[in-house]
Amino acid sequence: MQVIEGEATIGGGCRSAELTLPGFVHDICSAVHPLGRGSPFFSQLPLDRHGLRWIDPPVPLAHPLDDGAVLLLRDLDETAHRLGADADTYRDLVGPAVRNWDVIINDLTGPFRIPLHPRKLLAAAGFGVRALQSLTGLASRFKTKAARALLAGCGAHSMIGLTEYLSGAFGLIFLASGHSVGWPIPAGGSQRIADALAAHLESLGGTIVLGQRITSIDHLEPARGVLFDISPRQLLEIAGGRLSCWRGSGLYLRQLRRFRQGPGVFKLDLALDGPIPWRDPEVLRAATVHLGGTLEEIVASEAAATNGRIPESPFVLLAQCSLFDSSRAPAGRHTVWAYCHVPNGATVDMTERILTQIERFAPGFRDRILATSKLTPADLERYNPNNLGGDIGGGRSDIGQFFTRPAWRLDPYSTPDPGIFLCSASTPPGAGVHGLCGWYAARSALRGILRGGHGTQIA
Ligand SMILES: Cc1cc2nc3c(=O)[nH]c(=O)nc-3n(C[C@H](O)[C@H](O)[C@H](O)COP(=O)(O)OP(=O)(O)OC[C@H]3O[C@@H](n4cnc5c(N)ncnc54)[C@H](O)[C@@H]3O)c2cc1C
């Protein structure tokens, strides 16, 4: 098994570096990992033996509003209780997803399938009925501004409009993950996840080749199976010719050409000379903070980004990891990771808009900034060609595409060539550091090889 990486270091969307000042370790892409902790694949691997240690902040998520923060706590009842008039509605909405977390994570992530076990089938049906709804539809059950905002911030991870079908699923999954597995950060930065995975691979005899960008499948050594961790567009460029030799490839290639990207991301990393001076000090208990105010404001921000407009008051996802991991910054100093959604390929500098959104809930915050690093959608694509136009989601996750990524096929990882597989975030279950796309694709490849179809993987 050989992994080929185009960059000089491994990790892709899971890398850390001193982006601002010496001694300040920033996560270039992923920072917070509910799906990494919950992954049925990662949980089978001895990643702790290879140096991965999860840190659980006391509170998974804080969502400041102008009159105080709403918190997602590990405990479902405590979270519900703090929502006052919406306590019962919150328990009714999120409770079933928490109780059936094992079904959601084991049976509903990955290639589309219907669980056969009656308990699982019932749980999946119950979840599906809610998950297919729009986030605004689900939020209409709530009476309080706090509950609606909490749900909206989680739904915005979908990177689709929050009035669209299926946006509710993201809200439910992210809330339920907070109660089921927490929203942990890796000690030392997300690079430690990639390093632990690489160390495990090498302990099994696998090898990693660095700095070899593949532009054509003809540059690869002959292998029985090749798994591509790349976008559908790159697959067309690299292997389109080879794929077109196979019967039935016309439809597959047409679907890859029609594959739609989601909005882009504009990211800021900051070095601070102290913690963020949140107006509500409870926000200091969480590593992850959702900034965007009310449901209505977040809906407007996400609608703009998905419809080609620049959000004036963007929804900002922020992580303050150094509060819980002293290895991230010199003593007394802190790092901030923050990004917002923008139209795919947008070239507008969002720095001021992001800083204004933080300052709104933390007056005096700007005075603490020592240094800033920004990544535009174009920078993110240069950094990793999978982030097309700054899309970090591996393609739009709307109802028209979510269940058929990257193409209508019983086995979405397979291609018309029995030796070529796709294993990127453009396959189920989509973006996030969880390893599940690769895991399911590897199983598909092994089935193919057993049928008669040395692996090479581009990671
Ligand atoms: C700003 C940002 C914030 C994010 N935040 C989070 C978060 O907090 N939590 C979370 O779970 N997820 C987050 N994500 C998403 C997450 O990083 C990705 O979904 C995840 O990394 C996908 O993993 P992957 O291994 O499939 O692919 P990638 O991480 O995209 O890795 C693919 C690798 O393949 C290499 N490659 C690509 N093309 C070629 C080629 N032609 N030849 C050779 N090598 C090639 C790339 O250099 C890269 O190293 C974030 C992403 C970004 C960009």
Per residue in 165-204, pLDDT (tens digit) is: 999 999 999 999 999 999 999 999 999 999 999 999 999 9
**With bands split at pLDDT 50, 70 and 90, how would you rate the model's confidence at 24?**
very high
The Å distance, Cα 401 to ligand 1 centre, comes to 20
What pLDDT sits at residue 248?
85
The Å distance, Cα 261 to ligand 1 centre, comes to 15
Among 24-38, 303-317, 437-451, the minimum mean pLDDT is found in 437-451
Q: 3-state SS of 134-178?
A: CHHHHHCCCCCHHHHHHHHHHHHHHCCCCCCCCHHHHHHHHHHHH
Is pLDDT at 368 greater than 70 in this prediction? yes
Per residue in 223-248, pLDDT (tens digit) is: 989 999 999 999 999 999 999 999 88
Among the atoms of ligand 1, which is closest to the Cα of residue 28? 1
- 55 forms beta bridges with 185
* Percent of the chain at pLDDT exceeding 90: 89
Among the atoms of ligand 1, which is closest to the Cα of residue 10? 49
Among the atoms of ligand 1, which is closest to the Cα of residue 234? 41
Is pLDDT at 144 greater than 50 in this prediction? yes
Greater confidence, 103 or 52? Answer: 52
The Å distance, Cα 69 to ligand 1 centre, comes to 31
Per residue in 328-354, pLDDT (tens digit) is: 999 999 999 999 999 999 999 999 999
Among the atoms of ligand 1, which is closest to the Cα of residue 267? 1
The Å distance, Cα 26 to ligand 1 centre, comes to 15
Among the atoms of ligand 1, which is closest to the Cα of residue 424? 26
**With bands split at pLDDT 50, 70 and 90, how would you rate the model's confidence at 49?**
very high
Best residue among 30, 54, 336 to mutate for probing ligand 1's pocket (most ligand atoms within 8 Å of CB) is 30
The Å distance, Cα 459 to ligand 1 centre, comes to 9
Question: What are the tokens at 302?
Answer: 């996400």
Q: What is the pTM of this model?
A: 0.96
The Å distance, Cα 300 to ligand 1 centre, comes to 27
* Percent of the chain at pLDDT exceeding 70: 98
What pLDDT sits at residue 444?
95
For residues 375-382, give the mean pLDDT. Answer: 98
Separation of CA 436 from chain center: 12
- 185 forms beta bridges with 55
What pLDDT sits at residue 455?
44
What pLDDT sits at residue 359?
98
The Å distance, Cα 386 to ligand 1 centre, comes to 7
For residues 153-157, give the mean pLDDT. Answer: 98
Spatial contact of 146 and 86, defined as CB atoms under 8 Å apart: yes
Is pLDDT at 458 greater than 90 in this prediction? no
| Positive or negative: CA dihedral 47, 49, 52, 58 | positive
**With bands split at pLDDT 50, 70 and 90, how would you rate the model's confidence at 378?**
very high
Spatial contact of 299 and 311, defined as CB atoms under 8 Å apart: no
What pLDDT sits at residue 50?
98
User: Exposed (0-12), middle (13-18) or buried (19+): which is 387, by Cβ within 10 Å?
Assistant: buried
**With bands split at pLDDT 50, 70 and 90, how would you rate the model's confidence at 456?**
very low
**With bands split at pLDDT 50, 70 and 90, how would you rate the model's confidence at 317?**
very high
Best residue among 157, 193, 386, 420 to mutate for probing ligand 1's pocket (most ligand atoms within 8 Å of CB) is 386
**With bands split at pLDDT 50, 70 and 90, how would you rate the model's confidence at 453?**
low
SS3 category, 217: helix
Pocket of ligand 1 (CB under 6 A): 4-7, 12-14, 29-33, 35-36, 213-214, 229-230, 234, 265, 267, 339, 380, 384-387, 392, 424-425, 431-433, 437, 458-459
Per residue in 274-305, pLDDT (tens digit) is: 999 999 999 999 999 999 999 999 999 999 99
Residue of minimum CA distance from atom 36 in ligand 1: 6
The Å distance, Cα 206 to ligand 1 centre, comes to 20
For residues 362-377, give the mean pLDDT. Answer: 98
Among 46-50, 378-382, 405-409, the minimum mean pLDDT is found in 405-409
Residue of minimum CA distance from atom 26 in ligand 1: 424
The per-residue pLDDT of the chain, averaged, comes to 95
Among the atoms of ligand 1, which is closest to the Cα of residue 31? 8
Q: What are the φ and ψ backbone dihedral angles of 317, each rounded to 5 degrees?
A: -95, 125
The Å distance, Cα 394 to ligand 1 centre, comes to 9
Among the atoms of ligand 1, which is closest to the Cα of residue 431? 19
Residue of minimum CA distance from atom 15 in ligand 1: 432
Structural element, H or E, at residue 231: none
